[in-house]
Structure 1
């Protein structure tokens, strides 16, 4: 039995989601929600809240945040909410930097997980995705593998649950990714919500939408698509890093306080 379950859902259950764009929901556009996105965490919260009028949900994740920022800005804020469930994914934005000290970063990660676990909450962590199918990001594969082994060890040491994203082969299908090729699509977020709920052993009724048929591009079409991606996604991403700015600058958390999640 999970710590946040007592013969069914605890009516005082509080779920706090921490992290970066992955948890904020980037790629699953919804103009009716804060920051214009929904995402897997919102979907999970909606499922957990069913038949639970007292359920509360906060999402402190902000796109572009690096691991140390997440530890400094979000962990203590989450603990103050006395959560019964915390999810955390941090480190992807660090792995993509030219230089990284993974051991040092994961020491801070470990300290943050210790604080979250000591709060009494069930803590759920993620490994990083295996980018073997990306010609652009596959160079980061070795870094991610090292990061993942340290995350697995930390999860084991603190009794945290683990969503092993690295092993989710369905994400080799580019239809689960957005046009920027960096964030999950709506279908990808829905599938991730199912994966998280499965790890939580929580019943759910979620259907991943039927994916559009794969359309093979000819050489000219592929070149045009790649040029558009370079212009609209890759170049702005590189430019932000050269200028030391983030896509999350000026943004506030979607739900900085506990709220009733949207359905």
Structure 2
């Protein structure tokens, strides 16, 4: 029986794809991918926790993950580091490469992610150069260690705001569903799974985009700033994280079903 392990931060935990019946009350692309894998006999574990930075993923998830001997491991971390201008990406990515190397040496297939292109984001567009540097490091690591890449940067369909949650930072349920389909495409194209497994993901129909007046948009922006931006800034200033009190969703392998 093959085993899939997911490591990382909020992206992989599934924030933005609310499901009150699941651990941490989120589903996410990794769960959605695993549901297809498990339907074909795989097992699944997920150690990702929101708010984690690269060093935290290395320190808190690497050894545990290696002990679980996954056939496939997906790793994404770095978004929370990119948002911090003083973070040394070169040094952090050396640690990231060490994490990938240890899994590949242990015989795992490793799936990595590039960062999303924030060119159209009023709030995060200034992080674009750092994300581009991060992405080039990811490509170098993948080349050096034979890792697979889910190329989020080049998947332009994710620029549609309907694939984003109300916090404007995480993907919506529709976004996570699309990501699961794209991940299965990558796995199928590289013979990790059968090529047609992505067809088992049903993509939701997108609702029509609202046409807001300038006043309505301003009101929406102010509401977003109060509910999401303010608390995020407060956590940054106080050195706290939304994941500080959370545990991994699936710390042991399970057979996950819809």
Q: Which residues of 2 match residues 187-206 of structure 1 at below 5 A?
A: 187-201=174-188, 202=194, 203-204=196-197, 205-206=200-201
Q: Which residues of 2 match residues 18-33 of structure 1 at below 5 A?
A: 18-33=7-22
Alignment of 1:226 onto 2:221: yes
Deviations 1:145-185 (A, max 9, x none): 00000100001100000001000111110000000000000
Alignment of 1:36 onto 2:31: no
Q: Secondary structure at the match of 1:200?
A: helix
Separation in 2, partners of 1:261, 1:119: 25
Give TM-score scaled by structure 1 length.
0.94
Alignment match of 2:6 (pick from 10, 17, 21): 17
Query: Structure 2: which 5+ runs fail to align?
Result: 189-193
Deviations 1:21-52 (A, max 9, x none): 00000000001100000000001111011132
Alignment of 1:217 onto 2:222: no
Q: Which residues of 2 match residues 104-253 of structure 1 at below 5 A?
A: 104-201=91-188, 202=194, 203-204=196-197, 205-253=200-248
CA RMSD, aligned part only? 0.8
Give TM-score scaled by structure 2 length.
0.95
Alignment match of 1:63 (pick from 50, 64, 86): 50
Is the 2:39–2:257 Cα contact (8 Å) retained in structure 1? no
**Map of 1:9 onto structure 2:** none
